Amino acid sequence: MDDDAVLLEVKGGVAVVSLNRPHDHNTMGDAVDALFFRYLDLLRTDRDVRVVVWRGNGPSFSSGRDLGELHDHPGASDFEFIERNQWQTRLLYDFPLPIICALKGWVLGIQLERALLCDMRVAAESAALALPAVDHGVIPDSAGVAKLFEIGGSALALDLALTGRRVGAEEAFQLGLVTQVVPDEELDEVVLGLAESIAERPPLAVRLIRDQVQALASADVRATLQRELLGQ
């Protein structure tokens, strides 16, 4: 249904997963999360799919977690709520296929952390990235800091996590957070073309390359999740 919070389209070996709450910049609440990860679970065993594109309808990729739901999870403690989010993070990180993110507008909080766990990120000129958890008296809890450390070392991780400042597309490219910057109107076309190019490569070779890269950092990423859970 076109009015679902998350949309899925599969064509020619490429699955396109679109966040579809443009009116609120694609905030992620429990219901949206459940549908998003249900689609990922379906795609992970689909032999016809070789690459996933993750994008957002409307002006933004995602403005992050729905803060109204943070303390509104009946029957679950805060610890259990964060633990469930981290279980979803592990599903994303262990996903067997390449995921390419098309970033535009707001790319905030947990959704930036999740995008950093994906294979590649392309930014539109409008993209503004930030980890604003510190502004709310909490900490990033989905391995985003570990990925920032992996990309740019402690200076980058501390800069973005301690200040919560917004990083524009060009700076994100200079910092290595994204692989390229394109005009907003070209974002979907560029990302889809990139996905199709990878989908044409031998799938076993693609998987082995990804396994090699992930093995270099997986221990640190997994270890940080437990520390973040307890810290949060």
Q: At a CB cut-off of 8 Å and minimum separation 6, what does 84 contact? A: 76
Question: What are the tokens at 189?
Answer: 């076309």
List of E strands, the chain? 6-11, 14-19, 51-56, 99-103, 106-108, 120-124, 128-130, 167-168, 180-182
pLDDT at 20: 97
What was the pLDDT predicted at 151?
A: 93
Query: Coil, strand or helix: which one is 8?
Result: strand
What is the pLDDT tens value at each position of the chain, 232 positions in all? 578 999 999 998 999 999 999 999 999 988 899 899 999 999 999 999 999 999 999 999 999 987 666 556 555 677 777 777 777 788 888 899 999 999 999 999 999 999 999 999 999 999 999 999 999 888 888 888 989 999 999 999 999 999 999 999 999 999 999 999 999 999 999 999 999 999 999 999 999 999 888 887 656 666 676 666 666 6
* Per-residue confidence (pLDDT) for residue 86, from 0 to 100: 74
Residue reference for tokens 């803060």: 67
Instruction: Report the pLDDT value the prediction gives residue 222, as an integer from 0 to 100.
Output: 65
Q: What is the pLDDT of residue 232?
A: 67
What's the confidence (pLDDT) of residue 70? 58
DSSP-derived secondary structure letter, 178: S
**Is 145 buried (19+), middle (13-18) or exposed (0-12) by CB count in 10 A?**
buried
9 by Cβ neighbours in 10 Å (0-12 / 13-18 / 19+) ranks as exposed
CA pair distance 50, 38, nearest whole angstrom? 17
- What is the C-alpha to C-alpha distance for residues 135 and 12, in angstroms, rounded to an integer? 43
Burial letters for 48-74: b for 16+ Cβ neighbours within 10 Å, e otherwise? Answer: ebbbbbbbbbbbbbbbbbbeeeeeeee
Report whether 177 contacts 167 (CB < 8 A): yes
Q: How far apart are CA 145 and CA 122, in angstroms?
A: 19
- Label the pairing between strands 128-130 and 167-168: antiparallel
Would you state the pLDDT for residue 204?
94
3-state secondary structure of 196: helix
